[in-house]
Amino acid sequence: MTRKVGIIGVGNVGSQVAFSLCTQGICDSLVLIDKNAKKAQSEAFDLLDMAAYTHPVSITTQDYDALDDADVVILAAGPEMMAQEDRLSELDETLAILDDVLPKLLHTAFRGIFVVITNPCDVVTHFVQERTGWDKQRVFGTGTALDTARMKRMVGSVLHVSPSSVEGFVLGEHGDSQFVAWSTVSIAGKAVTDFAVLDGDKIEQETRDAGWAILQGKGCTSFGIGTTAAMVMQAILTNEQRIIPVSTFDAKTGVYIGLPALVGRDGATTYYPKLNSAEKERYDASVAVIKQAIESKSTKLKS
């Protein structure tokens, strides 16, 4: 069975997602779509030049109809960010992108899974689901998967273990109100909070600021999110049933937010971790931030 992925928006992030999918042999067919048709075609040619040394992938550009039988479509289109902005500041421009993209996608026969990378991820995911009416399980965002990877890297560095040996999650908004759920973080079954050498506040702050630090130096983030998105694609296309902290629908609060979810061919099934009282307060605060952003734009759109 051909594994087909569409990527809408092939700038710094979308092109890196495509690169990761090709080099890791995760898909067999790609559809690249961008507002700049020449850019999409050039990215396709560049990716095809790797074919002799990687898993061969067929690539189509600028054709929404080619998404009819796609397993997954990724939204990676978005405005360029300035280092002083927060992710929510991108929302107006991103909603304009949805106005352009979603009607075209709705005119296709696409019935796969839709994954949002575009920031602000949680809020954009909400509007994608609301405007398309697609099943909530089959629409989700990359959420705090990248933030969790950053936390694991930092914890692993301090405790001298591989990041892959660190269990646990960053939860909440993929933004400034995110938090490390330390009660979920462990190594070999031992809570990392038992390690005196670990400065949790410092790690949490550096996790939250990691994207901005990268943005200030190179003008974008790409490798981390590209690899993260590829990992999510792998989970979907192989029906891996992997637990990943993505922006999934929380039926209890009515928002998309970073929570662990079981990811596979059917999309994302939300899991609710047991949080302590302090973490629950921080989670509720993050929900409020997302709700406020949604309500402010919903009110503006109706006025």
Q: How high is the pLDDT of residue 67?
A: 98
What is the mean pLDDT of the segment spanning 46-69? 96
155 annotated to a ligand binding site: no
The string of pLDDT tens digits covering residues 164-175 is 999 999 999 999
- pLDDT interval class at 79 (50, 70, 90): confident
Q: Which residues are catalytic?
A: 174
How many angstroms separate the Cα of 223 from the Cα of each of 20, 145, 237, 281?
A: 9, 14, 21, 32
Question: Is 264 labeled as ligand-binding?
Answer: no
Instruction: For residues 186 and 197, give the distance between their C-alpha atoms in angstroms, rounded to a whole number.
Output: 14
For the chain, the average pLDDT equals 94
CA 97 to CA 115: how far, in whole Å? 15
118 is in an annotated binding site: yes
* 172 in a labelled binding site: no
**pLDDT one-digit tens code per residue, 204-228:** 999 999 998 998 899 889 999 999 9
Q: Cβ distance 195 to 289 under 8 Å?
A: no
- Which residues, listed in sequence order, are joined to residue 237 by a DSSP beta bridge? none
Is residue 12 annotated as involved in ligand binding?
yes
> Are the beta carbons of 57 and 30 closer than 8 angstroms?
yes
Find out whether 168 is annotated in a ligand binding site: no
Tell me which residue of 246, 157, 247, 149 sits closest to 207, measured CA to CA: 149
CA 125-129-132 angle, to 5 degrees, is 135
Residue 271: how many CB atoms within 10 A of its CB?
13
- Among all chains, which residue has been given the structure tokens 């462990």? 186
Mean pLDDT lowest among 72-86, 95-109, 287-301:
72-86
Q: Which residues contact 192 (CB under 8 A, 6 or more apart)?
A: 155, 159, 166, 168, 182, 185, 186, 198
4-141, CATH topology level: Rossmann fold (3.40.50)
- Is residue 221 annotated as involved in ligand binding? no
What φ, ψ does residue 246 adopt, rounded to 5°?
A: -110, 175
DSSP-assigned states of every residue in 266-295: TEEEE------HHHHHHHHHHHHHHHHHHH
pLDDT at 299 exceeding the cut of 70: no
Tell me: pLDDT of 85 over 60.
no
Q: Assess whether pLDDT exceeds 70 at residue 248.
A: yes
Give the start-to-end residue ranges of the domains of the chain: 4-141, 145-298
Q: If residue 256 lies in a helix (H) or strand (E), which one and from where to where?
A: strand 255-264
pLDDT in tens, 175-194: 999 999 999 999 999 999 89
Instruction: Give the separation between CA 132 and CA 271, rounded to whole angstroms.
Output: 24
pLDDT for position 78: 85
CB under 8 Å to 272, separation ≥6 — which residues? 252, 259
Indicate the fold that domain 145-298 takes in CATH: L-2-Hydroxyisocaproate Dehydrogenase; Chain A, domain 2 (3.90.110)
Instruction: Express each pLDDT in 88-130 by its tens digit.
Output: 667 888 999 999 999 999 999 999 999 999 999 999 999 999 9
Q: Answer yes or no: is pLDDT of 14 > 90.
A: yes
Share of the chain above pLDDT 70, in %: 95
| Count of CB atoms situated within 10 Å of the CB of 254 | 13
Q: Determine if residue 148 is labeled as part of a ligand binding site.
A: no
Q: For residue 6, what pLDDT is reported?
A: 98
pLDDT for 87 equals 54
Strand partners, 95: none
pLDDT score at 303 = 40
